[in-house]
Structure 1
Amino acid sequence: MKISVLVVDDEPLARSKIVNWLKKFDEVAEVQEAQNGFEAVELTQSSKIDLIFLDIQMPEMSGFELLEKIEKLPLVIFVTAFDKFAIEAFKVNALDYLLKPFDKERFENAFLRAIDQLKQIENLEFAEKLQSLLESQKGKVFLEKITVRLGKKISILEVREIKWFKAEGNYVKIFAESGNFLIRDSLLNLEKKLNPQEFQRIHKSYILNTNLIQELQSASHGDYHILLKDSTKLTLSRNYKDKFCKALELKI
């Protein structure tokens, strides 16, 4: 994982020491600095911060006062020359308390604890999002049948029989095993109703039944040709390639 770290200390040398050590860790994507609480508040409001190394005694605004102004607290490791604040620090759920002067080994232990904690948080958030997605899908009914007209005859077409949809102006042409039909609809509207595990948008003009794919062939300008089992060849546009590959778990 990659994290963003904020170092808050009114002493330039103290900040520089921590920043230099942080830059040696692959997990650190970005390190920002603040020399006082006001700068730190602005940075937490303008960017996502995962971890703060925070001095306690600073002019005008202490580390504790700073935390009260942050809406969504990141992990906090206090960095201070005074041990008298330790109890209060852990009352605000600080992950660790580095007492100046501290050596590199002590710093690394604190940082690695933070990484472990952030990984646990990340896993928990992923599980919650997955559960939310599953809950949202409960009871959701995808389109199973489409009413089509052929002359004076109206028929019920099973969606699973459809090979692909093609946009034609204000209409959509359906290519199915039983024939071709024209309906007044849009691909955008159909895309919302179709089961994404079976139908995917491959082009601004096409939605394809992915069960019929036989192979993909590289084409020019980042596009691909999709060869179907009946030898039909359709184009996978580069604009839809990433979403298509993600849905089908493909790497091309």
Structure 2
Amino acid sequence: MKKVLIADDEKAGRILIKEYLEDYPDLVLIAEVNNGVDAITEINRFKPDLVFLDIQMPGKTGFEVLNHLEEIPKIIFSTAYDEYALKAFEVHAVDYLLKPYTKERFKIAVERLNSDNQKIEGLAQSIFMEETSYPNRVLVHHNKKLITIKCEEIIWIEAYGDYSKIHTINQIHLSNFGISDLEQKLNPQLFLRVHRSSMINLDRVKELNKYGKSYDVTMENGDVIRVSRGYMDTIKKIML
């Protein structure tokens, strides 16, 4: 049995890890915290074997937390920021989970716990491969849970304040990521920004209608998306 602690300021992030941990009865959750200061206190108190550690947290960052620990447990970073991957290697992290990640990716991280002879170079290579690829699935909210949906099922994405609404054939899901963040994470060969508030899946376009000097895009579900003036050139590049 291994004692596990979760340190993540996002409730959704903690819920997801707890859900994935249900498949591993030997990993027992003993505490969860939502800031760096409490992370230091609880890790020093409980001495967990494994910590799922966010990087950007109130009070102390994940790396600052490590500097205040009496004993360093095994660390799996769980973060939305990819720029800290190299620094994670320096502190000999078991793995670096880049949000949003799937249950399959989580399984790989857990399997690395048993790799006593883990090579940092190999871990670095795998993470950099992730950074240069695009996800096949994204995490979204559904009935107070987080579920994954296939990117190919997405019809279009709508800005919703600091969040995004992801439209599929039958449902609208809420994503914790803003539309600009999703634009960076999703495959640009498939997803095209046509307005500051909307992005479309090119495979789900039904028709493109021209009105004077502007265009509207009709999607498979019947939604009509206006192409703003600033994105006209982008649309024209895909027209034959």
- TM-score range with shorter-chain normalisation? 0.3 to 0.5
State the structure with more CA Rg. 1
TM-score, with structure 2 as normaliser: 0.47
TM-score, with structure 1 as normaliser: 0.44
